[in-house]
Amino acid sequence: MSFLKQYQSMIYLIIAVSIVNWLILTVLPFQKLSGDELDYIASAHQNLSFSQKALQLIPGNMPYSWWPPFPSSLYALFASDPDLIRAYHRDESTPDHPARLISTKVMLVQAEQNNIIVPHPAQNPAIGRFVMKIAVMNLIMYVVVGVNIFWIGLLLKCGKPASLTAAGIVWLNPNLVYYINALWPETLHLLLLSTAVLCLLLFDARAKMTCLAVSGFIFGFCALTKGVVGFFLICLIPLWIIRMQGSPMERFRRNHILRLFKLLAVFYGSSLLIVLPQMITNRVRYDSFSLASNTWINIECGIIPSEEANGNFYERYFQASTDSTRRESLAKERVKEYLRRQSVDTIVVRQFNQFFSQQLNDSFLDRSVEAGRWGDHLSGDSWVKWLTRFTTFSSWAVFFLGLSGLAVSGFRSFGRAVVSIYLLYYLGSLLVVGFNPRFFIQAIPFLSLYSAAALTRWKEVSENSA
């Protein structure tokens, strides 16, 4: 009872968020799916038995694809309708190519505007059932992400009010709510990332090696979900050295060095235990150690203006070769050649302009309403226009408040340094590949944490000065 009383506000907030988002899922009309969502459906609906799908969740057994393989392997567990499975096929000549969708029944309609493929549940309810299963899973994960941010805030000593505010910002942010009812793996990655960071902070607070191993283990699955974690883990290595207690000279004593190697072995070893089997499989089967085949095309899309590819990077990319390694190599050469031609100031100005226009001034929610994701039900409503404006405002507010909170107290402890390094690393990477507003999602929960800490701190300062 003491636990319920202590966290009463948090429990009420969880219940309210769950109910509101469930109502959103059930009240909104069936949405039109587009882009990568269709490819995730196709990748998930392979003609495999349930036991074969379960085995695909084990690193080393996951398929090599255009994206990191874990989301499609997880989604496959929810794909059970044989009619839907037979509705898709993949071009076997390029196994990593996003699946081309074809129909053996009248179930997919190609819309002329916005190039949207519209599933019709009336003609094949299997699509609706599959999307709803993923939405329910996303809703559960979304709630847990907020809980994780709350506990991370407490471990960082932000205080209960700031931690609760941070969780509320996460749960009320339209950018995050949007992805509950979508097939992009943003919510899945946020769950894995926030859980991995939480376990790392628990290790720092309690010195339990189990927490450290679990953190590394989950970071490994993060790398199999989105390709943003690998370099971040490398950036943490100096922090482990600084974390060792004692003077700079004492840190290089034999017992300190042995303890450091033990920590690094447990943390990075548990991550490699997840990632390495998949890398070896990809090397043997597809002659590539990469976890996905879209690294350099993403950099190309982020660095080079679309005019140089006549507005279609992907068409040029896939027409260049049927070999994924060759395609990536050609994309890398195009990036290098572009950088050689441009001055540094031109590149820097363009990348910052792209970041602010795509990451803060734009959102998938806004794009989806304009593209008619929910048909005509929402596109003409005035409250939806206000919602999209609020979404833009929330992105700017969380970004600048979060950076101010980071600047004030971002490196005062090991835990805060971990979160700060992630934010600086990830926001820096968006200056390179910031062409898609979806990418900003991975920064919002941790920016929300520092935003809430900054707001709470300013409130305390104003009250004390008064």
Q: Is the Cβ–Cβ distance between 129 and 138 less than 8 Å?
A: no
pLDDT of residue 170: 94
Task: Name, in order, each residue with C-beta under 8 angstroms of 446's C-beta and a sequence gap of 6 or more.
Answer: 149, 402, 419, 422, 423
Mean pLDDT, all residues of the chain:
80
Q: At what angle do helices 125-155 and 444-465 cross, to 10 degrees?
A: 40
Span 71-82, pLDDT tens digits = 988 998 887 665
pLDDT of residue 111: 31
Span 138-155, pLDDT tens digits = 999 999 999 999 999 999
Task: Name, in order, each residue with C-beta under 8 angstroms of 307's C-beta and a sequence gap of 6 or more.
Answer: none
pLDDT of residue 121: 46
Q: How many CA atoms, within 13 angstroms, populate the side-chain half-sphere of residue 424?
A: 15
Distances (CA, A) of 223 to 38, 219, 420, 449: 22, 6, 19, 23
Token readout for 47 is 């003609």
pLDDT of residue 139: 94
Name residue, tokens 């339990």.
208
**pTM for the whole structure:** 0.88
Low-confidence ranges of the chain (pLDDT < 50): 85-122, 461
pLDDT of residue 52: 79
pLDDT of residue 76: 87
Task: Return the domain boundaries, the chain.
Answer: 2-294+344-465
pLDDT of residue 98: 44
Span 227-241, pLDDT tens digits = 888 889 999 988 888
E strands, 216-262, in order: none
